Amino acid sequence: MTEKQKQAYRQRWLNTISLIVRTVVGVFFAAVGLFIYAIFGPTMHGWFEGPEPIPVEEIQRRIAEKEADLDRVENGIHLETGLIAAEGWEQVRATCTACHSAKLVTQNKATRDGWEKMIRWMQETQGLWELGAQEAVILDYLAANYAPEESSRRANLDMDEIEWYILEL
Amino acid sequence: MKKQKKTIGLHELYQKDPIEADRLLWGRESDPETRRGFLKKGALLALGAALGAPMVHAENFPAGIIPAGLADADTPFQIPGKHPDLIVLNDKPLNLETPAHLLDDKLTPGDKFFVRNNGLPPEESDIDVNNWTLTIEGESARQKKSYTIQELKERFQEHTYQLVLECGGNGRSEFNPPAKGNQWSTGAVGCAAWTGVRLKDVLEDVGIKSNAVYVGYYGKDRHVSGNPEKEAISRGVPVEKAMQEESLIAWAMNGEPIPYQNGHPLRLVFGGWPASCSGKWLSRIVVRDRVHDGAKMKAPSYRVPCNPVGPGEKVKDEDMCIIESMPVKSLITYPMTGATLKLNQQLPIRGHAWAGELSVEKMEVSTDFGATWQPANLQKAANRLSWQHFDAKVSFPKRGYYEVWAKATDSEGRSQPMILPGWNPKGYLNNACHRIAVKVV
**In this predicted model, what pLDDT tens digit does every residue of A118-137 receive, in sequence order?**
999 999 998 899 999 999 99
pLDDT attached to residue B259: 97
Q: Does B11 touch chain A (CB under 8 A)?
A: yes
**Quick one: average pLDDT of A137-155?**
88
Contact B15 A108 (CB under 8 A): no
pLDDT attached to residue B60: 46
Which residues sit opposite B285 in a β-bridge?
B136, B217
For the beta sheet containing B115-116, the strands, ordered from the edge strand earlier in sequence to the opposite edge, are B87-91, B94-97, B115-116
Q: Does B430 touch chain A (CB under 8 A)?
A: no
Residue B414 resides in a domain: yes
Tens of pLDDT, residues A71-89:
889 899 999 899 999 999 9
- Give me the domain span that covers residue A35: 1-46
The residue of A57, A103, A116 whose CB has the most chain B CBs within 10 angstroms, and thus the best one to mutate to test that interface, is A103
Q: How far is CA B210 from CA B141, B207, B213, in A?
A: 10, 10, 9
Residue A62 resides in a domain: no
Contact A71 B15 (CB under 8 A): yes
Residue B73 resides in a domain: yes
Residue B339: strand, helix, or coil: strand
Statement to judge: residues B28 and B145 lie in one domain = no
pLDDT attached to residue A61: 79
Q: How far is CA B146 from CA A20, B155, B218, B238, in A?
A: 97, 12, 14, 22
Statement to judge: residues B300 and B357 lie in one domain = no
Smallest Cα distance from A164 to chain B, Å: 4
Residue B48 resides in a domain: yes
Q: Yes or no: say if B418 and B405 are a contact pair by the CB < 8 Å rule.
A: yes
Q: Does A57 touch chain B (CB under 8 A)?
A: no
Statement to judge: residues A37 and A79 lie in one domain = no
Which residues, including other chains, have CB under 8 Å from residue B35's CB and lie 6 or more apart?
A: B62, B63, B64
Residue B106 resides in a domain: no
Q: Does B8 touch chain A (CB under 8 A)?
A: yes
Residue A68 resides in a domain: no
Question: How many structural domains comprise chain B?
Answer: 3
Residue B86 resides in a domain: no
Q: Does B36 touch chain A (CB under 8 A)?
A: no
pLDDT in tens, chain B (441 residues): 333 444 444 445 555 555 555 555 544 444 444 444 444 444 444 444 444 444 444 444 444 444 444 444 444 457 899 999 999 998 889 999 999 999 999 999 999 999 999 999 999 999 999 999 999 999 999 999 999 999 999 999 999 999 999 999 999 999 988 888 999 999 999 999 999 999 999 999 999 999 999 999 999 999 998 888 999 999 999 999 999 999 999 999 999 999 999 999 999 999 999 999 999 999 999 999 999 999 999 999 999 999 999 988 999 999 999 999 999 999 999 999 999 999 999 999 999 999 999 999 999 999 999 999 999 999 999 999 999 999 999 999 999 999 999 999 999 999 999 999 999 999 999 999 999 999 999
Neighbours of B160 (CB within 10 A): 16
| Average pLDDT along chain A | 86
